[in-house]
């Protein structure tokens, strides 16, 4: 094994939350946005689509942090 690589860490993180608090934040953002859109529109499909969009964006933001 090369000595230069022994103590080095990977430059790239996994693109998903690793801590349960991060998963809780993402899930709460999904739930609040989906319920809010459902209350405003009365339709399930747009509520789920907005919830999934918020889920993807929140995972990206948590991965960057």
Residue 14 has a pLDDT of 61
- Encode 16-51: b = buried (16+ Cβ within 10 Å), e = exposed: ebeeeebeeebeebbeebbeebbeeeeeeeebeebb
Q: Is 9 part of any domain?
A: no
Q: Is 28 part of any domain?
A: yes
Helix locations, the chain, DSSP H: 3-6, 20-41, 44-64
CB neighbours of 25 closer than 8 A, spacing ≥ 6? 17, 58, 62
Q: Is 58 part of any domain?
A: yes
Could you list the residue range(s) of the whole structural domain that residue 46 is in?
18-64
Residue 63 has a pLDDT of 79
- Say how many domains are in the chain: 1
34-65 confidence digits (pLDDT tens):
999 999 999 999 999 999 999 999 888 887 87
């Amino acid at each position: 094994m090369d000595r230069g690589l022994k103590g080095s860490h990977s430059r790239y993180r996994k693109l998903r939350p690793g801590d349960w608090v991060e998963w809780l934040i993402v899930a709460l953002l999904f739930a609040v946005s989906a319920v809010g859109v459902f209350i405003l529109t009365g339709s399930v499909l747009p509520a789920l689509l907005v919830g999934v969009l918020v889920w993807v964006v929140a995972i990206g933001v948590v991965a960057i942090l």
